[in-house]
Amino acid sequence: TQLLEQSPQFLSIQEGENLTVYCNSSSVFSSLQWYRQEPGEGPVLLVTVVTGGEVKKLKRLTFQFGDARKDSSLHITAAQPGDTGLYLCAALPSGTYKYIFGTGTRLKVLA
Amino acid sequence: EAGVVQSPRYKIIEKKQPVAFWCNPISGHNTLYWYLQNLGQGPELLIRYENEEAVDDSQLPKDRFSAERLKGVDSTLKIQPAELGDSAVYLCASSLAGPQETQYFGPGTRLLVL
């Protein structure tokens, strides 16, 4: 079974702080996605990365795909209360058509 | 444009009772997914449809779960009989054509089995 492990599981920080969330696996992936999910809602796609070493920026969010396409990180600069939510990574194992989701990181940003 | 619509949003039933969830995908989306999400976990795929054909149902517990997508648009997911361990959020998602396309999720149905 291919697993995507995310760390940390929970994170509570003050507004204005920086943070990094990690998504790790021993498997190689064709692509990897990051989602944010708010309570009572479905996950919303933030970004898709497909090339090893790729870095994408979305305002204060920076996403990086590992060189070996086995891991990824999400860095948030100057976190705001609106960043609060469950962050999920999802990856497409090479040769398959089914995304698997990570265990999630629950982030709370305090005002 | 309307997103993925699911109903009901919440359902409380007693164990051994049947329950059904309904999903209306985004107009024009050929691919439809049903996921199960346990509290504090990521979604797990139950079944994927390409139009009206179930192309991946390997994770669907077929002894009690069934799904259909008549006419390749709306879909229903049924559990009969429900067990305590089925308490979870059931998410529906759709994409334009195939899993490589962006998936758009509905708000989910939160099921509580007592």
Copy the structure tokens of residue A78: 């100057």
Average pLDDT over residues A63-72: 94
User: Which chain A residues are closer than 8 Å to B26 by Cβ?
Assistant: none
Pairwise CA distance, residues A18 & A74, whole Å: 11
Pairwise CA distance, residues A108 & A11, whole Å: 6
The pLDDT tens digits for B61-108 are 999 999 999 888 999 999 999 999 999 999 999 999 877 788 999 999
A48: nearest CA partner in chain B:
B102
The pLDDT tens digits for B24-69 are 999 999 999 999 999 888 999 999 999 999 999 989 999 999 999 9
Q: What is the pLDDT of residue A12?
A: 97
Instruction: Inspect the interface and report whether the beta carbons of B42 and A88 lie closer than 8 Å.
Output: yes
Q: Please, which pLDDT band fits residue A98 given cuts at 50, 70 and 90?
A: confident
Does position B1 have pLDDT exceeding 70, yes or no? no
Q: What percentage of chain A carries pLDDT values higher than 70?
A: 98
Instruction: Inspect the interface and report whether the beta carbons of B105 and A48 lie closer than 8 Å.
Output: no
Average pLDDT value over all residues in chain A: 93
Instruction: Inspect the interface and report whether the beta carbons of B103 and A99 lie closer than 8 Å.
Output: yes
A38: nearest CA partner in chain B:
B107
User: Which chain A residues are closer than 8 Å to B43 by Cβ?
Assistant: 43, 88, 101
> Nearest CA to B30 among B3, B7, B49, B46?
B49
B46: nearest CA partner in chain A:
A98
Are A42 and B93 in contact, with CB atoms under 8 Å apart? yes
> Nearest CA to A6 among B110, B40, B65, B45?
B40
To probe the interface with B, which of A99, A100, A103 has the most B CB atoms within 10 Å? Answer: A99
Pairing of strands B88-95, B31-37: antiparallel
Pairwise CA distance, residues A106 & B112, whole Å: 22
